[in-house]
């Protein structure tokens, strides 16, 4: 394994994570920069899944567990995720390398993250020291795993969907929000193996009136979200080296909440991040996927001001905002 002094991936990521705030001043926040052409009314598009549709996997979150099948079919799969807890949750999906099992993932990845978090939380380590410490602990293979697009941050009581194409294999689902006591949800029980079988799901991609392209250039939103259920098609044009990749988190905010507030809360190196209270109401989104991927998410939007943010690559200016107008 590469030492932390020569591991470019982690160095870049650590620098990037710490440079978040500095980069924010120039981040694009003007909805005017986005396309103003109204998207086709979402009401005309079929919902991305229905109860009799074999590609829908119902997942429920409570404080602190998932209710999710242990085994699902491969191919296009819609995760319909309902947060029945009193804290924010999300569904982060990682595909394991063929020679790495669930137990090894827990021991080699989840535990080191937790140990470093405890050191940060309890003041034994500074944020500057956290990423180098992780680089010493995490195996090199971790930086080659595929994150496979689960459902983004979701406020208590909310529901959202993500539709992704999954190859047969072994996966892990987790949520790493933090409890008010500073415990990571995965360590409290929100960590499960998921087997994707060779049996085809017979699912298909949902119709989507809105498109998002994620790249190092930023987050480009094409179309104007409407009140109600909005389905977004998301394309990952790249995966910046040394980062976890682009994700999309959608949250409704009041007029006083700044993009800085949101990104500060999303940066796991900050002690008050990823726990209640959140800087707004997260309504869904999609977690990172490999470069070249296309996937979908559906979120229920009521009128208001929204920010689309990326947890890991926001330092690249990967965020935008829009307003949903009442009909």
Give residues in contact with Cu ion (CB under 5 A). 89, 175, 177, 185, 190
Nearer to Cu ion, 175 or 308 (CB): 175
Least distance between Cu ion and beta carbon 190 (Å): 5
User: How far is it, in rounded angstroms, from Cα 87 to Cα 22?
Assistant: 29
CA–CA separation, 210 and 233 (whole Å): 6
Structure tokens at 161: 């969907």
Q: Which is nearer to Cu ion, 175 or 208 (CB)?
A: 175
Q: Which helix (H) or strand (E) holds 212?
A: strand 210-215
Structure tokens at 166: 């999954």
Query: Quick check: 55 and 78 in contact, CB under 8 A?
Result: yes
Give the residue with the Cβ less far from Cu ion, 84 or 270.
84
Taking the C-alpha atoms of residue 133 and residue 120, their distance in angstroms, rounded to an integer, is 11
Task: State the minimum distance, in angstroms, from the CB of residue 214 to Cu ion.
Answer: 24
> Residue 116 CB, nearest distance to Cu ion (Å)?
19
Identity of the residue, 45 or 175, whose beta carbon is nearer to Cu ion in the bound complex: 175
**SS3 (DSSP) at 36:** coil
> What gap in Å lies between CA 283 and CA 306, rounded to an integer?
10
Cβ partners under 8 Å of residue 61, min gap 6: 67, 81, 82, 83, 84, 85, 89, 91, 154, 175, 190
Contact 253, 324 (CB under 8 A): no
What is the Cα–Cα distance from 177 to 13, expressed in whole angstroms? 20
Please, which residue, 16 or 175, has the CB nearer to Cu ion? 175
Identity of the residue, 13 or 282, whose beta carbon is nearer to Cu ion in the bound complex: 282
CB of 88 to Cu ion, least distance (A): 7
């Amino acid at each position: 394994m590469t030492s932390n002094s020569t591991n470019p991936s982690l160095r870049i990521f650590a620098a990037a994570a710490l440079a978040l705030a500095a980069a924010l001043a120039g981040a694009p926040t003007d909805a005017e920069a986005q396309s103003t052409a109204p998207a086709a009314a979402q009401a005309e598009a079929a919902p991305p899944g229905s109860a009799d549709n074999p590609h829908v996997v119902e997942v429920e979150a409570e404080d602190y567990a998932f209710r999710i099948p242990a085994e699902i079919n491969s191919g296009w799969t819609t995760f319909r995720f309902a947060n029945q807890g009193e804290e924010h949750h999300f569904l982060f999906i990682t595909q394991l390398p063929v020679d790495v099992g669930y137990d090894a993932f827990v021991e080699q990845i989840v535990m080191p993250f937790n140990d470093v978090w405890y050191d940060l939380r309890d003041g034994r380590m500074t944020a500057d020291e956290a990423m180098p410490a992780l680089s010493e602990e995490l195996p090199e293979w971790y930086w080659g795993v595929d994150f496979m697009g689960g459902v983004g941050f979701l406020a208590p009581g909310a529901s959202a969907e993500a539709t992704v194409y999954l190859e047969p294999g072994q996966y892990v689902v987790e949520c790493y929000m933090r409890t008010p006591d500073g415990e990571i949800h995965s360590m409290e029980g929100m960590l499960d193996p998921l087997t994707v079988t060779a049996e085809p799901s017979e699912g298909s991609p949902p119709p989507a009136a809105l498109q998002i392209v994620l790249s190092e250039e930023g987050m480009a939103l094409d179309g104007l979200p409407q009140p109600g259920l909005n389905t977004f098609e998301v394309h990952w044009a790249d995966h910046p080296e040394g980062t976890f990749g682009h994700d999309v988190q959608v949250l409704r905010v009041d007029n006083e909440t700044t993009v800085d507030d949101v990104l500060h809360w999303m940066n796991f190196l900050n002690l008050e991040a990823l726990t209640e209270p959140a800087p707004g109401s997260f309504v869904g989104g999609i977690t990172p996927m490999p470069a070249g991927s296309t996937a979908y998410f559906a979120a229920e939007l009521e009128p208001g001001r929204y920010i689309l943010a990326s947890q890991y690559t926001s330092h690249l200016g990967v965020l935008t905002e829009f307003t949903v107008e009442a009909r």
